[in-house]
């Protein structure tokens, strides 16, 4: 069953703008991970945030985690055309033998 | 390092045929897994392995077999292909456990007629 749910399903913005994607989940988690998938390619890990962390940065990426609301957000600042991709969150479900549970993804399009 | 490699990249099968999707990693990772990705859905776990000689079922194991005779290789076998198995298949590995960062192969696009 799907646990992580990304919102929105699709997002189209102008180059240079910021993009925000959200992920909600249902169970207790060990960590939450964000991945990017370019069209026709495998997934690439972006950032991992542990359940005891609230915010993490990596370059133009900022991830927040609110365990009380069971939600996370991924912010991409100063977007570029190369950021066009699908973005997935994956939660490590402590109640399900620590399996990774994936959302359906947010498709991000950056318009030049 | 080549990372995670998968072969073939594309495959067309007829219903009832069997085949093996190959996956190999050169990072000495203990944990390996197979996912399928269907349009509009997240990845679904088929089978996984926590080390050589150990495999277990994921969310959607029916119709698939795996084996892990070495640390490097984790082939996925389709026993009798069905149109419902048309999908993109990804192999992934991580250093120690499923909770770690996953490294993905480029995928195999399978069509079953």
Q: Give the pLDDT confidence score for residue A1 in this predicted structure.
A: 34
**10-residue block means of pLDDT along chain A (112 residues)?**
70 96 90 93 94 96 96 96 95 75 92 92
Q: Which of residues 2-61 of B touch A (CB under 8 A)?
A: 4, 35, 40-45, 48, 58-59
A32 → chain B, closest CA residue: B99
Residue among A42, A48, A98 whose CB faces B90 most closely: A42
Q: Say if the Cβ atoms of B107 and A42 lie within 8 Å.
A: yes
B88 → chain A, closest CA residue: A40
Is the link from the previous residue into A95 a cis peptide, with omega within 30 of 0?
A: no
Q: Give the pLDDT confidence score for residue A71 in this predicted structure.
A: 94
Beta bridge partners of B65: B77
Q: Give the pLDDT confidence score for residue A82 in this predicted structure.
A: 95
**In the block, which residue shows the tokens 């994936």?**
A102
Residues A36, A59: contact at Cβ < 8 Å? no
CA–CA min distance B11, chain A (Å):
15
Model confidence at B19: pLDDT above 50? yes
Tokens of A39: 């069209």
Q: What is the DSSP letter of B73?
A: B
Q: Give the pLDDT confidence score for residue B98 in this predicted structure.
A: 64
> B72 — phi, psi (to 5°)?
-80, -35
Q: Read out DSSP for B28-63? A: --SEEEEEEE-TTS-EEEEEEEEETTEEEE-SS-TT
Q: What percent of chain B has pLDDT over 70?
A: 99
């Amino acid at each position: 069953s799907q646990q992580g749910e990304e919102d929105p399903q699709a997002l189209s913005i102008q180059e240079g703008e910021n993009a925000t994607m959200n992920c909600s989940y249902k169970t207790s988690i060990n960590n939450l991970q964000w991945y990017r998938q370019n069209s026709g390619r495998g997934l690439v890990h972006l950032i991992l945030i542990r359940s005891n962390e609230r915010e993490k940065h990596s370059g133009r990426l900022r991830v927040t985690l609110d365990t009380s609301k069971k939600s996370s957000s991924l912010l991409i600042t100063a977007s570029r055309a190369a950021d066009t991709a699908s973005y997935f969150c994956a939660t490590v479900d402590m109640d399900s033998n620590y399996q990774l549970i994936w959302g359906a993804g947010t498709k991000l399009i950056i318009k030049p | 390092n080549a990372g995670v490699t998968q072969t073939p990249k594309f495959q067309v099968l007829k219903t009832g045929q069997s085949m093996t999707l190959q996956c190999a990693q050169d990072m000495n990772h203990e944990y390996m897994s197979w996912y399928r990705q269907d349009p509009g859905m997240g990845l679904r776990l088929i089978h996984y392995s926590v080390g050589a000689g150990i495999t277990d079922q994921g969310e959607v194991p029916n119709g698939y077999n795996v084996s892990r005779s070495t640390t490097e290789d984790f082939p996925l076998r389709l026993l009798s292909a069905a149109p419902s198995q048309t999908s993109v298949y990804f192999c992934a590995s991580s250093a120690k456990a499923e909770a770690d960062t996953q490294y993905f192969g480029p995928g195999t696009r399978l069509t079953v007629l």
